[in-house]
Structure 1
């Protein structure tokens, strides 16, 4: 910091220093907006490219993505510099271009955010679908089991009853001469062989169904383990193996007892079970508001920061601009303190100035410069008010003027003393 600036800070006080620091900080923030806009544009471009590359050739998707993001930034800058009343055709053409680019960007970015936000939900849906298919198949297997066991028990009870009747000679098929003869005769032996065969079949059937029950329990255990397994691949293959074993046992029992086979579900392969979500139009059917909001939020911030980047000029006033502003503001004559406790001034010409055809372009230029830099705030068409960062600047300039007047008065007094 050179000597004139040090003298100026000492003369203006701490307020001037704070004002310089504040304007420098605001200027740095506005400059920092540029890399932020670029990073947001790159982030939005990545998600847009990801979604678009699943529908068209990747290099074409890349070219279109660059074009879309360029249109978003350029049109945002253009809208900030266009007044729609001055050139409505141009304004609406730029606005339509921006809306089309935003629609394309958000639509294709939605697929990426949908995949991220719904990945856990999709995995749960696949697991639930797997459980439902297996449960439906097991329920059908249990129905077949119950039907076969009931049928075999009925036949076994019938055979047992016939053996008893044959033993006591009361069987309907015994001829009249051999009725009511108790004992183990040839007739009884025949029905006893049938009964023993039925009994062995029933015992074997119970063993087979016990094995089927163990297979069902193993399938259910593997299905429960799949949700918490550390090694999903091994757990899923164990589930498929146990399900195939259960299916084979059920098919053998069904064919043995002439039962209709239940429709077995077509389970997903391991690659299908862990596959990522592929972008498709079906994602819009199962609309995710969160994914859409995230996709729109990135582009919204890109447009907003690009708009503000053009709408507000960065950087504080230079020394020459400070002198120009001070001299031009001195030309205004109507000031007052408004309800916000801020200094307010009327920027319109007075009646006398209008009568004299006074040219106020220089002071209006100063007003426009201060409005653009944020040192003035517009209230209405006639009035503006000082922003807090303008007071130290004006105070410093007034202090400089007072110091000059004091120096001139002191020099004049010394000249009079010499005379």
Structure 2
């Protein structure tokens, strides 16, 4: 093989070298399609299994996934080798099987790609859900706190008015003989004592509520940290949960003393629920987004396309025997021309004379089919084909060999005559 390549390089020169490199490169790309198809099928199978395992038992999902991916590859491979007119039933059965497998794979793969593409969105939605629950609860606390403080201040203002009435002797509890006497009488002193106690109680209550406000601020800071610190999200979520519990406990202890109706604190989801992935079911499917479906379809489409090309184009350069066969068969065609692409064009139909003589042209048609499948010829229409660039060096080499042989034979004949 090495000696043949060296001989071809010496005889064909740089053109032959370019032809060999180009042919080997194209062959390598076609062979490289095989592991790419397997990897794409494996990737699609993983996402299909991932989505299907939500609905059925994992081992059954695995078997069905293998079947789906096998059908996609096999049907794509077969589709390139059959024709509609040759066997309509087989053709449509292959197409329908491919479509069903393609849709099944894409549909179940959607859930995995949805989880990947919507991961941040889902996390933000859950953070917002927790934040909305906490905010709604804190608003209720503010309402209760405001009403409680307002009630205490109203009572304090009422006591202040009663003190004023008692000071000027117009309070209804003052005996008649002491009314209209200005000064700090017994009634005023009694009301003043109650007023001072109520004022002290209000100040203490406001101070205690300020401590609750500190806990609320810590809780809100924890919510902000939950949104920012992704790495330590578990600790941040625990801080939020504990902070909410502390706010609830402190506030309820204060408000319970005054007999107010206490707001119900929200029950936050657990951290495992907060971080869990999408778990679709028949009755609870995630909202539809187009992007994950497109990605899932692209993976299966590339698998189908490359599998189809594996059968449609046979890889590999021509062997020495094939080169000889091709050269001899192409010489049997009689109609050549240079077309608009500046390429040599051959009419592959029989001529009128060949039809009249019942000429058997299957060897040269076989050569044309071989060159078309290997990429050395390009089909123009049903009657004509043209040379691909990598065919010219091969033909030039063969023609050069023929010329060398003719020259050698001519020289040998001259030597024999002169001798």
Per-residue deviation, 1:401: 0.9
Greater Cα offset, 404-413 or 45-54: 45-54
Per-residue deviation, 1:412: 0.7
Q: Does the Cα contact within 8 Å between 1:37 and 1:306 map onto a contact in 2?
A: yes
Per-residue deviation, 1:2: 5.3
Distance 1:373 1:284, change over 3 A: farther
Aligned pairs (5 A) from 1:13-412: 13-229=13-229, 230-280=231-281, 285-412=286-413
1:288-339 Cα distance to aligned partner (Å, 9 max, x none): 3332222222211111111000000111111111111111111111111111
Instruction: Provide the rounded CA distance (Å) in 1 between the counterparts of 2:295 and 2:19.
Output: 38
1:73-96 Cα distance to aligned partner (Å, 9 max, x none): 100001010111221221111011
Instruction: Provide the rounded CA distance (Å) in 2 between the counterparts of 1:6 and 1:194.
Output: 117
1:195-224 Cα distance to aligned partner (Å, 9 max, x none): 233223212221221122111111112222
The number of residue pairs the alignment matches comes to 418
1:150-208 Cα distance to aligned partner (Å, 9 max, x none): 12111111111101111110224445433211223332233223323322321222122
Per-residue deviation, 1:274: 2.3
Instruction: Provide the rounded CA distance (Å) in 1 between the counterparts of 2:402 and 2:70.
Output: 50
Greater Cα offset, 104-113 or 185-194: 185-194
Distance 1:53 1:395, change over 3 A: same
Per-residue deviation, 1:149: 1.4
State the SS of the aligned residue for 1:81: coil
TM-score by length of 1: 0.94
Give the unaligned 5+ runs of structure 1.
none
Give the unaligned 5+ runs of structure 2.
none
State the SS of the aligned residue for 2:228: coil
Instruction: Provide the rounded CA distance (Å) in 1 between the counterparts of 2:263 and 2:165.
Output: 39
Instruction: Provide the rounded CA distance (Å) in 2 between the counterparts of 1:109 and 1:326.
Output: 50
State the SS of the aligned residue for 2:409: helix
Greater Cα offset, 15-24 or 311-320: 15-24
Per-residue deviation, 1:128: 1.6
Query: RMSD of aligned C-alpha atoms?
Result: 1.9
Instruction: Provide the rounded CA distance (Å) in 2 between the counterparts of 1:212 and 1:135.
Output: 15
Q: Does the Cα contact within 8 Å between 1:79 and 1:307 map onto a contact in 2?
A: yes
Q: Does the Cα contact within 8 Å between 2:345 and 2:386 map onto a contact in 1?
A: yes
Per-residue deviation, 1:97: 0.5
Distance 1:187 1:86, change over 3 A: same
Distance 1:2 1:40, change over 3 A: closer
Per-residue deviation, 1:52: 1.4
Distance 1:2 1:218, change over 3 A: closer
Instruction: Provide the rounded CA distance (Å) in 2 between the counterparts of 1:171 and 1:65.
Output: 91
State the SS of the aligned residue for 1:359: coil
Q: Does the Cα contact within 8 Å between 1:41 and 1:69 map onto a contact in 2?
A: yes
Greater Cα offset, 399-408 or 206-215: 206-215
State the SS of the aligned residue for 1:384: strand
Distance 1:376 1:284, change over 3 A: farther
Instruction: Provide the rounded CA distance (Å) in 2 between the counterparts of 1:152 and 1:191.
Output: 16
Instruction: Provide the rounded CA distance (Å) in 1 between the counterparts of 2:170 and 2:275.
Output: 68
Distance 1:100 1:167, change over 3 A: same
State the SS of the aligned residue for 1:13: helix
1:346-366 Cα distance to aligned partner (Å, 9 max, x none): 111112222222221111111
Instruction: Provide the rounded CA distance (Å) in 2 between the counterparts of 1:389 and 1:20.
Output: 8
Greater Cα offset, 220-229 or 254-263: 254-263
Q: Does the Cα contact within 8 Å between 1:111 and 1:283 map onto a contact in 2?
A: no
